[in-house]
Each structure stands twice: as C-alpha cells, then as structure tokens.
Structure 1
Amino acid sequence: MRRPETDYAAVFQALPGVVALLTPQLVYVDVNGGFLRATGRTRDQVIGRYIFDVFPDNPNDPTATGMRNFQASLLRVVATGERDVMAVQRYDVEDPARPGVWQERYWSPINVPVFAPDGQVIMVMLRVEEVTELVRTWSTRNGGSGARMLEADLYTRARELQEVNERLRRAHAHEREVALSLQAAMLPVPRPVGHHRAAVRYQPAVGTLNVCGDWYELTDMPGDRIAVAVGDVVGHGLRAAGVMGQLRSALSAACHVAKRPAPALEALSTYALSVQGAESSTALQAFVDWETRIITYSSAGHPPPALAHPDGTVAFLDQATGPPLGIPTDSEVRPEAVEEFDEGAVLVLYTDGLIERRTEDIDTGLRRLAVSLARHRGADPESLADALLLDLLPSRGITDDTVLVVVRL
C-alpha cells in the first residue's frame, strides 16, 4: 500500500503556538495561522517585510528591550547554527485596529536554525508561546505587582547568568592559552620538505579549546623522497591531543625503520593497543618519490588522499584501505598501493572535517573537494590550501576539526 505524501505546508499551518520563518536577514518568509491570530496581522502585512519594521518596540516605553533581545538571539542563531532558547520577554504589540495603542504582551521564544544541504543556515524558525495571561494571573494573585515581580526576577536571573558566563569566559580564556601552547608543541612547525613545496592548515571545530586529535607529519627521507601522513584520534580536547602527539611521533619513527607505508602503519597499530584512547584512530601514510614519480600509500580507515593531475582530472587514492589502528585484520600485512604522477600534479591529504557533513553523504563532500581542487590546481600550495578551506568549510564554522596538507609534486 502506497503511503500518502505529507503536506508539509498544511503541517506548518497547523503547528500549535506562534511560528514564523525568517531569512538570515530577518525578513519574514512564512508564518502560520497561530502567528496571525496572536498578532492580529494579515499575511500581506508580514510576508517579505523586515521583522522589526512589522513589530518595533513600544515608543511609549523607554525601558523596552524586546526588539534588542530578539534581534540578538536571531542573529546569534544565524552566526552559530545553534538553537537559542530565550527567557520570557515583554514585547508590546500595537493594536492593529487602533493605531498608537499598544497592548502589553509577554512571550516565551525559541529560535531554531534551518539548514541547506551544504550546512549553511538558510532560515530561522521563530517559535513563541504567548504567556500574557499567565503573567496577568500572577499579577492578580500578587495584588497587581505580579508582572513587575516577574520582570524583576527575570532581570535578577539574567544578571546572575551574565556573571556566571563572565567567570566561565575568563576560565575558558586561560584554558585556551594552555591548549594553544600544547597544540604548538604537538604539531610540527610547517617547513620546507627538501626543495619541494608544501602547505599545511589546522582548523579547530567551533566551540573547542583549539586542540584536537587531528594531526599531520612531513618527514624528509633518503633520496628525493618525503613521507607525509595525516591522522585523526577519536574525540576532542586535551586528552585527544595527548594521544595524537604519541601516535604522530611513533609513526614518524616507524617510517624511518620500516621504509614503507604499510609496515609503518602496522607498527603504529600495534603501538596504539598500548595507548589509552588510541584504538579506532585513523591514519594515512604516503611516501612520495620524485625520482620514480610514484606515490606509495596505505590507509588505516582514513579518507583517501586526492591527486590532481596537470590536465585537471582528480583521482582519489582508495586502493589500500585497511581497518583503523588497533583493530585486528584478517591479513598479516596491511594493504599498500602505488600511483604514478606527472610533474605539476598536486597531492592533498586531509582529515574528515574537510569533507563530512551531518546532513549529506560523504560522496558529496568528496565531489566538492574534487571540483575545488581541479579549479585551483595551478595555485601555489599556500594559496591552494586557503582556496580549498574557503570552498569547502561552512562560513558558520565546522563541527569537526580539520587538518589539510597540500604537496606540489
């Protein structure tokens, strides 16, 4: 039996309470029936108009703060992509039948982001419940002073919350200084690899302490060769960064002993079993040989490197993927593959924050990377790294850390 299609427009109109959709510029896109009934407005008076042109503050009340508070909340949702639950707000509404006459109204608002497939905030859903009658009842029970008592209580609570937030901000600032020092010590300073050109970027997730388990390593090898690696430890914060530092150092040492990517990763996988928090981490190790023009690589559950050829075609090196570190494998040795390259090609290694989005399939992120890489492949490594981040990372910030390594071949 075929399931009936859902009429989402009808669902939106039937939503309880007052609901509106706004653009990131705070212009009304749509409102439900509850909104029109509560405000006494028609759709023609609302749709396509800036929210505060329709509902300005009461000009007769010099203490009115409803417009300022709503604006701050809505813009915060647009900037961060996070929902915002506001305290009860007094926001008077002009009587549509009596211009110049303002009705005292109280509202309990929640503002929620609506995302496009690429993760950008394309709308904000404003949902409010009117609590005017509740406030009036409280006022009656308290001899007419209930509304003022409520406002005073909210103001006091807001001040207390502001003080708590300020203390947290100072503590966070101190933690961030510690975190940045640790990150600088854990990750190598970007430097030339022989006479070849490379660029690295580290981008922390929004809301983190600027430390994570994502890492990279560039190592000069005998002959005209380099070893380049990226990895990702599960989790965020100082603990993940500590694990990251141990794995990065161990793999760098293993490369010099093993002299090939697969046995180096196998040694790292064995070592990961002895490091708490390292199991299930991913890593990708590649050796680049300019004399033979061959890339030899092996992956421990990590996203595949991208190789942009001079003619603009982009290939993903996905023929040697084994399990993450510390996970047993049926084979005695990890898979390893080779790929030839021409002079002028570009090799890009990265962690999953560059391509993965919660709202889309990973193949979409890989295609986006291929298109951007093909378009900017002629740029120098530093410019190319910046262009890739600009094209691929959402402007509102990322929810997962990102490491990017660009090597001109």
Structure 2
Amino acid sequence: MLTAFARAFKTPDLRKKLLFTLGIIVLFRLGQHVPIPGIDYKNVQTCMDLAKGQQGLFGLVNMFSGGALLQITIFALGIMPYITASIILQLLTVVIPRLEALKKEGQAGQSKITQYTRYLTIALAILQGTGLVATARSGSLFQSCPVGGQIVRDDSIFTTAVMVITMTAGTALIMWLGELVTDRGIGNGMSILMFVSIAAGFPSAMWSIKQQGKIMDGWLEFGLVILCGLAMVGLVVFVEQAQRRIPVQYAKRMIGRRSYGGTSTYIPMKVNQAGVIPVIFASSLLYIPALIVQFSNSKAGWATWISQNFVKGDHPIYIATYFLLIVFFAFFYVAISFNPEEVADNMKKYGGFIPGIRAGRPTAEYLSYVLNRITWPGALYLGLIALVPTVALVTLNANQNFPFGGTSILIIVGVGLETVKQIESQLQQRHYEGFLR
C-alpha cells in the first residue's frame, strides 16, 4: 500500500489532486479553531476543560463539526446543516412529484436539486446558529461550568446578528470547500470533510480513555480499546462490502443488421443498504425530548421521567428505544430509496429478466422479498454498532469519548473505502499497481 501511495504521488495530475485535497483539509481544520466575534474565548476554554469531553446533548453535532461547536468557532455548525438538508430533499423527492420529475431528468435535474439543497442548508444554518447563540447566552451549553453563562460578552441584537451571520457564512464556506474537493480533488468533498471532522476527535478521545483508566495507569484499558477498535473496523468493512448479487440476463435484439443485448449482469443489493442514515435519524429524534426538558426547566413528572431515562444515554429504556428506532429507520429509508417496481419496469423495458422469474410484477415481488430479507441483518448490525459507545460507557467508564462505534466508525470506514477505491481506479487507468491485489 505504501508503494501505491508513492506511485500515486509520482503521477503529476493525481499528485495535484491529492495535494489540493490536503490543502482544503488544512484550511478546514484552521477554520475550526477561529472563534466568532462576541465570544469570550477564555471562558469557553475554561468550560471545555471542565467538561472533559462530556458533550451531553450536543455530542452528535459537535462530532460532525470536529469539536468546533462547543468552541463556538466560525465553523461551529460544521457540515450538519448540509447533511440535514440533503436528507430532507431525499425524503421530499418521494413526496413531491416535481422533485421526483427533476430526479429523473438526469444531470440537469440533479443540478437543480443540488441548488435547492444549498438554499435549504443556508436556512437551516441560520436557524441552528440562532439556537446555538441562544443556548450559549443562557448558559445551557455548559451546564456544569460556573462561567457557562458568561460566554457571550454582549447581548445586543447587533452582536447576535453578527454571530449568526458569521456561523452561516462558515457553513456556506464549508459547502464551497466540499464542492471544490469533489471537482478538483479526490473523493466526495462533503464526505472527506465529514471524515476529517470525526477523525480529529480520535486522539483526544483515546488519550482521555487512558487517563481515566485505573489498571496499569490506564494502559490496559487503552490497549483493550485499541483491540476492540480494530475488531470493529474489520467487522464494519466486512459488512459494508457484503452484498447480494441478483443475476440479470438481457435477451438478444436485432436492430437492423446488428445484434444487441445477450449480456449477463447483476443487481447488487448491499446488506447495509441504508448506510449511516438510520443512526443519524434515531440520534436526532432522541435528542428532541431531552432538549425540550432542558429548555423548559419544568419539574413536572414527565420532565423528571425524561431526565432520568433519556438524558444520560445508559438507561435500558433509552437503549431499547434507540435500537428499535434504528431498525425502523433502516427499513423506512430502504423502502424510499429502492423502488422494486421501478427497477422491474426498467428491466422489462430493456429486455432484461431474472432467470427463473417472469418479467414485470413477479420480478418486483421477488426483489421486494429479497430486499426485506437482506435488510434485517443490516438493520440489526446498525443497531448493535450504534450501541457500542453505550456499552463502553457502562463497562469502561469511557464517557462519550469512546470513538470506535456508532456513527463515527461507520462514516470513517465508509468514506475511507470509497476514497481508496477512487485512488485505486485512478492508478489502474495509468497501468499502475493499486492498493488492492
């Protein structure tokens, strides 16, 4: 693999793409440490030191921002508004006929959907930026910090507007940087930036586990976490690459004097067809009750019950609800992203059929049957992977610093595999030996 990296850098155009991507990553990381105007940076750092990595309700967004959220920098919102906007547009494509028609128009329609995603990202960034400023001003961002309510220096409307505009501009800049990487660099730009944001928190999380350990000055716990992480990465790679290949045969057709078709191919159905989307959906949905309790300051019975069962994340009710939501959203997302009837109609239109299955409705029913059976192991796998940090919270007392599990490991492995495949294809085009043998 090291030889392949050396050959990649010896290729002028591929070296240019790799260096451009690395330059964007450096710029992105610098922006994650530049504080916005109107923030008392000294008090923010004091609260960060006291929190010791316990991110509470904002853990998911803080992870996607590379730790910039709790530091309230210009990239505090990170890539989360874009992810949310993309998911919303995907769901609306199924509901709104106009968006569904645009999706079928090819590149032109996809360009318009991308433009709508940008507009929605800016709107969500304004909304989330306003909420973050209000949370920081009320002291709820760091509840256990004595100076948590003194983070915002000025409560005037002008200062609040400048802070929100700065964070919104930071989100727009992240969008632009991601698109630059997609056009001129290697891999999908947004995925690369997401990968960098999550990977940036790994060193501090691992060192925190070592410091909290009690056996052999924490080195035993540190080694166990490393071994567990390697096993998790191997499991995720194995399942992410697993797929059910349904054979498809295309009949020969005579057009004039030429014969077309007669080829054999397959429909790849991945075990984890939904990707990381169900985990994000379930995590976001479970944050809502805790946020309502946090901002309502109510001492009613329902608020106390939610605080006891849904805030810490290690209660059996929370674990069971989280697992069931992931399984539900896995089936839900697969149902809206893969349409067996549409696939069957396209196959019938071009003379394709599955051996032993009649074209048309029987093909759609067979695809639905296979999809439902293969989604079950994928959904259970997602639920178990997402619960790994919770198990670590109980067994290793690792707080929320445990990096190998949940959304983080799924995104890092998935983005890493796709990026390596792209570099591999670039090397194969130039007749070089790649990463995979």
TM-score in same-fold range (> 0.5): no
Structure with bigger gyration radius: 1
Q: TM-score, normalised by structure 2?
A: 0.26
Q: TM-score, normalised by structure 1?
A: 0.27
Higher strand share: 1
Q: Which fold has the larger relative contact order, with Cα–Cα distance below 8 Å and residues 6 or more apart in sequence?
A: 2
